[in-house]
Amino acid sequence: MNFTRRKVLGAAGAAALTATLPGRRAFGQAGQVKIGMSMPQTGSLGAGGKAALVALRMWVDEVNQKGGLLGRKIEFIVYDDQTNPALTPSIYTKLLDVDKVDLLIAPYGTVPTAPIMPLVKQRDLLLMGNFSFQVNHTVKHDKWFNNLPAADASSWFPGFFEQGQKLGAKSIAFLAADQEFAQNLASGAKELAKKGGMKTVYDQNYPPTTTDFSSLIRAIRAAKPELVFVCSYPNDSVAIVRGVHEIGVGEGVKIFGGGMVGLQFTPIMESLGSMLNGIVNYNSYVPGIKYPGIEEFLSRYQKRAAEEKVDPLGFYLPPFNYAIGQMIEQAVNGTKSLDQKKLAQYLHTNEMKTIVGPIRYRADGEWAQPRMLMAQFRGIVDKNVDQFRSPGKQVVLYPGEYKTGDVVAPYEKARGK
């Protein structure tokens, strides 16, 4: 071999040099409050992440126009984590060590957030959660505050089972994607079904790459359940709704839906149109709910979203991301400090006023009063995105204080067949 020590050392030197390069450009201006995060802008959560980022940038711009936090402008530092959990630990250590951010916001989603939990716990830092699900379960960090309106799997779907019980349903079929989030949700739903004394007549997981659901839908039909509970990801949700539209799930089904991710996203709602009618599904916000300030926020968001070509309605994630900003603002102004301990204490002890309603936190950083909505699609027509802006297209069935109507059942009747 002709490779000499000089060459080997040269290669090692190049490695050491290139590894140190990013640090050279990372000097922030003194006097700014730095807030840092990674946001999935590509990969499977990319579309939602981009919309969420618009809301956070809106909050930053508005606070800066008012003079900033503690009289200092906010510098908002964001990296794209590609929805890849392998990237988030290095991104967050860069934010802390090189960019020297004052405050951290978690990336949207459970998987990119999970690897940074030990880091924030080890360094005892405040972390504002961003629609993550049970990531603090093992780590038990006392400075974690999630913006997800559900505390755990069983608090996600009480609305679905409450409606089922009202209709006298005794049997249920489960269909869930064999994926992290869907499995967590399905286990919570199964717990609720068991508590409600329902008999499981069908229980099937499907691989995340499934595109044809016709055999699964036929099997559900053959099992004759009264409730059909589905935990699916966006692409699967579309395929399942189309499959059910063609094949049907049987006359005996009273409620169909539950935990179908994607039916909250504008392009999917627009593309499925009237096929959505009758489905009872979870949601974080639907028009008609009068949280203070949310309608003004959405009208401002929708203008900006049109310019930036992201989710044009923005009901699902953007208001909750804006709420993260509002909570940071209240905690910083309330404590007149950026001290992580004081901020966490403030968030633990005070009720936060946000555009997604008042939020009070439990000791584990999840909502003390979960507020996941269960809504039924009604009167949806094809190819009309504007219809979703008006109240009544998604009738809120749960929780009681935000209820805008009663469930229409059975499902076949509700979907107009």
Partner 1 sequence: MKFWLGAAIVLVGLAAMTSTLKYEYFFFAGYTVLMFVVLATAWNILGGYAGYVNFGTPAFFGLGAYTAAVLYKATAAPLALQIAAAAAMAGLLGFGAGLLTLRLRGIFFAIATIALTVIMETVFINWRYAGGATGLQLLRPPPTAPFESYIKMLFMVMALSAVAAVAVARYIERSWIGRGLRAIRDSEEAAEASGVPTLRLKLFACTVSGALMGVAGAPMPMYLSFIEPPSTFNLNYAIGALASPIIGGTGTWLGPVIGAVLLSSLQQIVTVTISSEINVLLVGVLLVVFIVAAPDGIIGLYRKIFARR
CB closer to partner 1, 106 vs 255: 106
The first and second tokens of residue 143, run together, are 């400075």
Report phi then psi at 8, rounded to 5. Answer: -65, -45
CB closer to partner 1, 49 vs 318: 49
Smallest separation, CB 207 to partner 1 (Å): 7
Site string for partner 1, 194-223 (x = CB under 8 A): -------------xx---------------
> Which segment (22-30, 237-245, 246-254, 270-278) binds partner 1 by CB under 8 A?
22-30
Write the DSSP string, 7-54: HHHHHHHHHHHHHHGGGGG--PPTT-EEEEEEE--SSTTHHHHHHHHH
At residue 296, the 3 state secondary structure works out as: helix
Of the residues 45, 128, 135, 223, which one makes contact with partner 1 according to CB under 8 A: 135
What gap in Å lies between CA 143 and CA 285, rounded to an integer? 26
CB closer to partner 1, 109 vs 159: 109
368 in contact with partner 1 (CB under 8 A): no
Residue in 374, 379, 375, 373 with CA at minimum distance from that of residue 277: 379
> Which segment (51-59, 92-100, 167-175, 303-311) binds partner 1 by CB under 8 A?
92-100
Smallest separation, CB 177 to partner 1 (Å): 8
Site string for partner 1, 44-83 (x = CB under 8 A): -----------------------------------xxxx-
CB closer to partner 1, 8 vs 381: 8
Of the residues 32, 183, 274, 387, which one makes contact with partner 1 according to CB under 8 A: 183
What gap in Å lies between CA 14 and CA 100, rounded to an integer? 26
Q: Which single residue is written with the structure tokens 């009264």?
A: 226
311 in contact with partner 1 (CB under 8 A): no
> Which segment (108-116, 294-302, 325-333, 392-400) binds partner 1 by CB under 8 A?
108-116
Cα dist from 135 to 62, 67, 180, whole Å: 30, 34, 12
CB closer to partner 1, 197 vs 207: 207
Smallest separation, CB 11 to partner 1 (Å): 5
Cα dist from 258 to 91, 160, 255, 390, whole Å: 35, 6, 9, 22
**Sequence-ordered strand ranges (E) for 289-416:** 352-354, 357-359, 373-377, 394-398
Residue 297: CB partners within 8 Å, gap ≥ 6? 55, 58, 318, 319, 322, 355
At residue 148, the 3 state secondary structure works out as: coil
The first and second tokens of residue 133, run together, are 């699900």
Binding site for partner 1 (CB under 8 A): 1, 3-5, 7-9, 11-12, 14-16, 18-23, 25, 41-42, 79-82, 84-87, 89-91, 93-94, 96-98, 111, 114-115, 117-118, 135, 137-139, 177-184, 207-208
